[in-house]
A and B are shown apart, each in its own frame.
Chain A
Amino acid sequence: MKSDGMVLMAHGSGGKMARDLVEKVLVKALSNPMLELLDDSATVQFSGRLAFTTDSYVVRPIFFPGGDIGRLAVCGTVNDLAMVGAKPLYISLAFILEEGLPLAELEQVVRSIRQAADEAGVHIVTGDTKVVNRGAADRLFVNTAGVGMVPEGVHVSGSNARPGDAVILSGTIGDHGIAVLSRREGLSFDTELVSDVAPLAGMVAQMLEACPAIRAMRDPTRGGLASTLNEIAERSRVCIRLQERAIPVRDAVRGACEMLGFDPLYVANEGKLVAIVPAADSDRVVAVMRAHPYGRDAAIVGEVAEGPAGRVLLSTAVGATRVVDMLTGDLLPRIC
């Protein structure tokens, strides 16, 4: 396309340049029969119980070790659907582009959207693109919404945890948050860490097959494992007791957290989940997860207890028990 290889205001004007951008960059890379119709709405066949979710993505930088904003935008929505036990089917994709964004970067993001969608088995069926003045957005923002189908007999909800259940974590925590931070302007540090950003619907389907009675699932994104478990404890009116030693954390994440003054329990993940399952099924679920590439380090990290209701407690490495609160405010690197 002619435009000196960057996004111009005219790309959002609704005119020829806008159509070129949509057809030559977006539809070409994301092609499927539903999208190619380019009607005002996508129409799809559907029957059963529908799950529906949306999220916006504003990560900085947009390319980070292990992924980019495109992969994030697909995986985030796919995972939100998977966390209620749904099979993700269709996704919408809306861009807000900052004037001056190199088209090559947009193309790269769209390519990884395609890749992630293929991997997750979802179709991008509708979308939108707007361009805003330089400075009015930070390179590019993405919104995705998605729908999925919840299989018969599956009732996964954050309010279903019961005393006696096991708490399963699908792998190491903090990889995404630290990987992104390691490339942030002004804060960059060297690490071999990569983001864990991944679509989890495939693993979730296998988990549900092994145990249709999974009570609750969540992906601990912003706010980390601590905040996610607090939400479940609160909504289910139960207490969650964690074993610090059982929670897998990579050395590189631990080291970076020491340096930055963070607690890995609060650092974001994009390819992990916690599942609350009946204790009797827990070993079976862990085995299924470990056999899946995205659950290789899955482990039982705690249990659900009666009370105090709404509270998450942690047995620390020195044998003391302390409260694990929600994340408050932002994680800001400390002075060391």
Chain B
Amino acid sequence: MKYVTEFRDSDLARRLIERIHEAARKPVRLMEFCGGHTVTIFRYGIRKVLPPGIEMVSGPGCPVCVTANADLDRAIALARLPKVILTTFGDMFKVPGSCGSLQEAHAQGADVRMVYSPLDALRIARENPDRMVIFLGIGFETTAPTVAASILEAEKSGLENYFVQSMHKVCPPALKALADSGEVRLNGLICPGHVSAITGSQAWVPFARDYGLSCVVSGFEPLDVLQTVLMLVRQVEEGRSEVEIAYRRGVTFEGNAHARRILDEVFEPCDADWRGFGVIPGSGLKPGKRFERFDAAEVFDVDAGPVVEPVGCQCGAVLRGVVSPAECPLFRTVCTPETPVGPCMVSSEGSCSTWYQYGGGLEV
């Protein structure tokens, strides 16, 4: 992990910032799609060192945040089933659904366990043959391959008590919905680094070609993001809209064909419900025919009750980049990480919690 420190080098940062100031003439609006980038931008105060003409907008790239309430409710209902162990990434634990959260279900006796990887969920399934172990599959192209691999492994080892509730989503259709809506006019896009490692930077070509968006794939270190902003500003200044990579140590044009093969083998595209967007065709992933018996959506029939959206929460508009968290009247007053109203205040990569944690809107 040596490189992590190198990429935080301050002198390099200073030089990049100078070059951005030199290059920027026109006003530009850039969106960072991915919540990981939002965290880097706020944690290092990057917005504050950019010229005033560069406006940064946070996008929908937080898998927890875009999970629709109906899906959350289903997850909570699954957790409450007898003999079920629901395994999930930690991020999901506290997200409020229509009525309660996994954390509350856990407090009331549901067996909800935090895992770091679906492989841990597999192990729990092996160790508890008399229980049904459901893994909550949340995440983008980055996480989905490991979940697919866990299903293949369950098939291979004949595991009969392992299931996946797939709420996986893929990014390009959401970006297309965003671009088609025309709600926010963007000049450039900071493309997600980890997602692109799987899809390849090729995934963003249509946005450069058909929508005139300058696209640069970025890593998650502050220097990566500064380098990306510089490349985007140069594209905009020179009237180019191309796909470039500022994260060569992680991403290629082609991406990870092996991971995509596993994805294609196990999952098939389906429609998915995105908070703030509604149902986006072909933007979800569910286990294909051969794997139906591992698909919790097929196996378990639960009644999750009526869907209730949190009153006053602007998460949807925040996710579309239309309002910033500080513009939500509940931000910092009613809605805090301790008493979150919407999921954007819960997930560590949610825009609202990132703004909150790193003092967005506070005097320095």
Enumerate B102-134 residues with CB–CB distance to A below 8 Å.
113-116, 120-121, 124
Asked if B163 is an interface residue, CB under 8 A from chain A, the answer is: no
Enumerate B10-67 residues with CB–CB distance to A below 8 Å.
10, 13-14, 17, 39, 42-49, 63-64
Cβ of B89 and Cβ of A333 under 8 Å apart?
yes
Enumerate B56-115 residues with CB–CB distance to A below 8 Å.
63-64, 87, 89-94, 113-115
Residues of the A chain whose Cβ atoms lie less than 8 Å from the Cβ of B43: 263, 316, 322
Q: Which of B10, B89, B113, B359 lies in contact with A335, CB distance below 8 A?
A: B89
Cβ of A328 and Cβ of B336 under 8 Å apart?
yes
Asked if B362 is an interface residue, CB under 8 A from chain A, the answer is: yes
Enumerate A75-120 residues with CB–CB distance to B below 8 Å.
none
Cβ of B362 and Cβ of A316 under 8 Å apart?
no
Cβ of B116 and Cβ of A333 under 8 Å apart?
yes
Distance between Cα atoms of A328 and B359 in the complex (Å): 12
Minimum C-beta distance from A57 to chain B (A): 21
Cβ of B348 and Cβ of A261 under 8 Å apart?
yes
Distance between Cα atoms of A313 and B63 in the complex (Å): 30
Cβ of B120 and Cβ of A318 under 8 Å apart?
no
Asked if A186 is an interface residue, CB under 8 A from chain B, the answer is: yes
Asked if B156 is an interface residue, CB under 8 A from chain A, the answer is: no
Cβ of B357 and Cβ of A325 under 8 Å apart?
yes
Of all chain B residues, which has the CB nearest A250?
B1
Cβ of A320 and Cβ of B48 under 8 Å apart?
yes
Q: A186-B124, A335-B63, A335-B138 are in contact. Are A254 and B226 (CB under 8 A)?
A: no
Contact with B along A238-263 (1 / 0, CB 8 A): 00000001000001101100101111
Residues of the A chain whose Cβ atoms lie less than 8 Å from the Cβ of B48: 320-322
Cβ of A323 and Cβ of B116 under 8 Å apart?
no
Distance between Cα atoms of A220 and B217 in the complex (Å): 37
Distance between Cα atoms of A318 and B143 in the complex (Å): 30
Cβ of A336 and Cβ of B114 under 8 Å apart?
no
Enumerate A289-327 residues with CB–CB distance to B below 8 Å.
308, 311, 313, 316-325
Cβ of A252 and Cβ of B1 under 8 Å apart?
yes
Distance between Cα atoms of A308 and B362 in the complex (Å): 11
Distance between Cα atoms of A262 and B91 in the complex (Å): 12
Cβ of B142 and Cβ of A336 under 8 Å apart?
yes
Residues of the B chain whose Cβ atoms lie less than 8 Å from the Cβ of A325: 356-359
Minimum C-beta distance from B353 to chain A (A): 8
Residues of the A chain whose Cβ atoms lie less than 8 Å from the Cβ of B222: 316-318
Asked if A1 is an interface residue, CB under 8 A from chain B, the answer is: no
Q: Which of B9, B92, B124, B363 lies in contact with A317, CB distance below 8 A?
A: B9
Interchain residue pairs with CB less than 8 A apart (19):
A187-B116, A188-B116, A251-B2, A255-B4, A262-B348, A308-B364, A318-B13, A320-B45, A322-B43, A322-B359, A325-B357, A328-B336, A329-B338, A332-B90, A332-B91, A332-B114, A335-B138, A336-B142, A336-B143
